[in-house]
Each structure stands twice: as C-alpha cells, then as structure tokens.
Amino acid sequence: MKITVVGTGYVGLVTGTCLADVGNHVLCVDTDANKIEGLRNGVIPIHEPGLEPLVQDNYEAGRLAFTTDIAEGVDHAQVIFIAVGTPPDEDGSADLKYVLQVADSIGTHMDDYRVVVTKSTVPVGTASKVRDGILAALERRGASIDFSVVSNPEFLKEGAAVEDFMKPDRIIIGADDTRALEIMRDLYAPFNRNHQRVITMDVPSAELTKYTANAMLATKISFMNEMANLAERLGADIEAVRIGIGADPRIGYHFIYPGCGYGGSCFPKDVQALYRTAGEAGYDARILAAVEAVNRDQKHLVVDKLLRHFSGDISGRTFALWGLSFKPDTDDMREAPSRVVMEALWARGARVQAFDPVATPEARRIYGERADLVLNEDDPYAVLEGADALIVVTEWRAFRASDMQRIRDMLSGDAIFDGRNIFSPQAARDAGLVYHGVGR
C-alpha cells in the first residue's frame, strides 16, 4: 500500500518505518525542515533500539521517504496516519491544534477517497473533530469527496517500540464503516501471521482504550509507591511484598515496581488528559486525581530522604546522579524524575554530576552549560569523585551489578539513595555505605 504518516516524532517515525519494512511505500511528512533533511541523511532524532538501521535500510530500498510538503503526502497515499504531538494544554487537557491542522490540510488537498487514521493519543471525540475539519475544508473548495476516519491508537513502549510494532499484543481499530475496516485489516495483515491480533470496535471505544490502558498502568505504579511509603512506616520491605503479590496471576509482576515516580511523554500527559475529559463529561475521576497526586509527590521522595540525611542543609554539596532519562533504553527526559531531583538540588545550592549512557545530549539541550552540572556518558563511576552521595533515578541495566566497594571508595560521602531499588541493601551496607531505598 501507499501510506503517508504525518509527524516524524516517536510514534510517527516508528510507525512509518515498520510499515515500510513489510513492503509498503511510506512517505513521512513533517513541518520541521531540519528534521526531514536529517532523516534523509540518516540522522535519527530519537534514541530507540533497532530503529536507526531499519530507517536506513528502508530509505535506501526506496520504501521510505521524507518530505515537508503536506500536499505531496495527501496525494501520495490511500491511508494517511495522523501522528503529530498532542501536548498538554495549560489545564492538562490534550491540545489538538496540530491534529486539526492536519485534518484541514487533508481536506484541502485530497482528490479521491482516503482513510484518515488518528494514531496520536487523543481524547474521545477527536475522530469526530477530524471528520468535521476535513468536511469544512472540502466545503471551502466546493468539493464532495468520500473519506473515512479511523482510530488506531499506538501501544508502543519506549525502548522496545520496534519490537512492539512488529509483534503487537493487540491492534485496536475503531471504525464505523466496513470499507475502511477492510483496508486497515489488509494493512495490518503482515503483523497477524502468527495469530489474529486485530480487535475491532467503534471509534469512541478505541479512543478510550488507549487512555484507559495508560491510566491503568500508571495506577499500578502509583499504588505500589503508596504501599512502599506505607511499608517504610510499618517496618516492612516492599520488595518482598512485591514478589508476594506478583505471584498472584490476577495481579502479575508487571508495573508493580516501586520507585521515584513515572515520567515520559505518555503516562503523565494521558492521566491528566483523561481526568480533564472526565470532568468535561460531568464526572469526578477521583482515582485518576490520586494517581497523579501520588506520582507528583513521589518524584520528590529521594530529595526528601536526602535532606533528612544531611539535616536539611545541602548547600555547597555535590551529588552523583545515575540516570537522566525517564526510563532505560531511551533518551527521553520529558517529565523525568531526574529533572525534579536536579532542579530541587540546584534550588538548595548543590551541584550535580550526572551519568547517563544516552540522555546527556538531551540534558544539555534542556539545561545548557551551567557551573552546577557536569555530564558524563562514558563512565558512571567517574561522576562519583568528590560526591557526597550517589542518587539513582533510572534503572539502566548496567547499574544492576555495580561494584559497591568501588562506589564507597570513590564517594567523598557514604550514602546511596536508590530511587529504583536496584541494589541489595545488605551489599551496600557490607561495603560501608548508608543505604536509602524506597519502601525498604
């Protein structure tokens, strides 16, 4: 098929590339000329394992192309994916201006039947707004052209997005007409060879499915963080509790790891947007409000522990920070706990020496060059020198088997604040370190 993907951010680039890799002819459109030029030259704007060679292979094979011309994109394809950003508005609701701008462009330039697919995470009712936007543009032209609007939400985990797209748990398609549904079934046929993964439903249900999935996962995280905070006060070990409850197949082990809060481009934004959607529908979503409140407080937990350890005064001190991205295997620092921690330390007059294997360029982009921040992407132990304590906020795999004695020898101080519970408290203590975990 000929496919157009509008938006070459995280979702759009992965979607376009993976669809090209199974033999489709995909044109990716973006208004950012520098990004498009970079993609044509093999510069991938995001860190995602396995994506770079896939982009290069399909670009060289002629199945994947990039342009800034939306008219070219609309003319190219029978199926047009809208994968532009939906940033949170001031009140926490999803800002749909970019989505609706694309809808207007489609209506302005289309000359034959198109299937328009909302791939961005959007509130219930967005497909109707997209349909109205296309119709309004067609009316301005005095044109009457048939089209369909489909909801096909993405369920990609950063750090495993290529694998998730190629081997999906499910493919949700919300459609109101059989013509569009059959086209979407044909498009996703290469991803269904093992077993049928397509789940069809009405459009509003598909839109709500995405938000509900992310809100449920965020709820599990905040619930476990709530229990971790209780465990500390009761003298229990939340890691033992986690293993105990995870053995129940009704609960399972996924997303029940306590820590210093969730971040990224999805959970924080989507929980807030769903809460706003509920309010607009006249419903007070109290659980969603609590999930967000617990997570907001949890991001300050490590700093609260650190202040207690240093009797409230950390001015002039230096802290080593392991991890900048909101999760491993990505360079994404949107809503990352590391940002809350660093900014709180700086506000109290402390310096930060941070290590992350891939996110230091992103940290440099966000914060620039500053005297109270040293960044290192080569050696985690190097940032320990002269530091009063080590703070761990991202559970990179390379941290799991760290040398406790080496950490103790290189630190000026003797404390570890393990915001992800990746270290053995006993191993840390045996090395002469004062260990502070979450719920332990």
For residue 83, which of 31, 34, 124 has the smallest C-alpha distance? 31
* Average pLDDT over every residue of 96-114: 96
Q: Is the dihedral of CA 294, 300, 302, 307 positive or negative?
A: negative
For residue 226, which of 292, 322, 324, 308 has the smallest C-alpha distance? 292
What's the confidence (pLDDT) of residue 193? 80
What's the confidence (pLDDT) of residue 384? 98
* Average pLDDT over every residue of 49-56: 96
Is 266 in the active site?
Answer: yes
Beta-bridge mates of residue 392: 322, 418
What's the confidence (pLDDT) of residue 94? 81
Catalytic residue, candidates 18, 28, 260, 266: 266
* Average pLDDT over every residue of 207-212: 95
Rounded alpha-carbon distances, angstroms, from residue 265 to 38, 211, 361: 23, 13, 18
What's the confidence (pLDDT) of residue 86? 86
Looking at the predicted structure, is the pLDDT value of residue 219 above 80? yes
What's the confidence (pLDDT) of residue 29? 98
* Average pLDDT over every residue of 232-247: 97
* Average pLDDT over every residue of 103-116: 97
Taking the mean position of all CA atoms in its chain, how far away is CA 235?
34
Looking at the predicted structure, is the pLDDT value of residue 109 above 80? yes
What's the confidence (pLDDT) of residue 89? 75
Beta-bridge mates of residue 417: 391, 436
Contact 432, 404 (CB under 8 A): no
pLDDT band per the 50, 70, 90 thresholds, residue 307: very high
Alpha-carbon Rg for the chain, nearest whole angstrom, is: 24
For residue 301, which of 423, 418, 433, 395 has the smallest C-alpha distance? 418
For residue 92, which of 307, 275, 311, 328 has the smallest C-alpha distance? 275
What's the confidence (pLDDT) of residue 88? 77
Rounded alpha-carbon distances, angstroms, from residue 282 to 204, 209, 265: 17, 20, 26
Contact 207, 122 (CB under 8 A): yes
What's the confidence (pLDDT) of residue 413? 97
Average pLDDT, the chain: 96
Alpha-carbon distance 160 to 10, whole Å? 12
Q: Is the dihedral of CA 101, 107, 109, 112 positive or negative?
A: positive
* Average pLDDT over every residue of 94-115: 95
With a CB cutoff of 8 Å and minimum separation 6, the contacts of 201 are 172, 173, 174, 209
Per cent of the chain over pLDDT 90 is 94
- Kind of pairing between the strands at 64-67 and 79-82: unpaired
* Average pLDDT over every residue of 237-254: 97
Looking at the predicted structure, is the pLDDT value of residue 53 above 80? yes
* Average pLDDT over every residue of 187-192: 94
With a CB cutoff of 8 Å and minimum separation 6, the contacts of 274 are 123, 211, 212, 215, 285, 288
Looking at the predicted structure, is the pLDDT value of residue 90 above 90? no
Residue 163 CB neighbours (<10 A) = 14
> Does the predicted model carry a pTM greater than 0.95?
no
Alpha-carbon distance 260 to 323, whole Å? 12
Backbone angles phi and psi of 321, in degrees to 5: -125, 125
Secondary structure letter of residue 189 according to DSSP: G
* Average pLDDT over every residue of 136-148: 97
Looking at the predicted structure, is the pLDDT value of residue 23 above 80? yes
For residue 269, which of 86, 131, 114 has the smallest C-alpha distance? 86
Contact 351, 418 (CB under 8 A): no
- Give 365: exposed, middle or buried? Use CB within 10 Å, 0-12, 13-18, 19+: exposed
For residue 131, which of 111, 151, 156 has the smallest C-alpha distance? 151
Looking at the predicted structure, is the pLDDT value of residue 195 above 80? no
* Tens-digit pLDDT profile for residues 352-390: 999 999 999 999 999 999 999 999 999 999 999 999 999
Alpha-carbon distance 436 to 314, whole Å? 17
Query: What secondary structure, in 3-state letters, does 269-298 show?
Result: HHHHHHHHHHHHCCCCCHHHHHHHHHHHHH
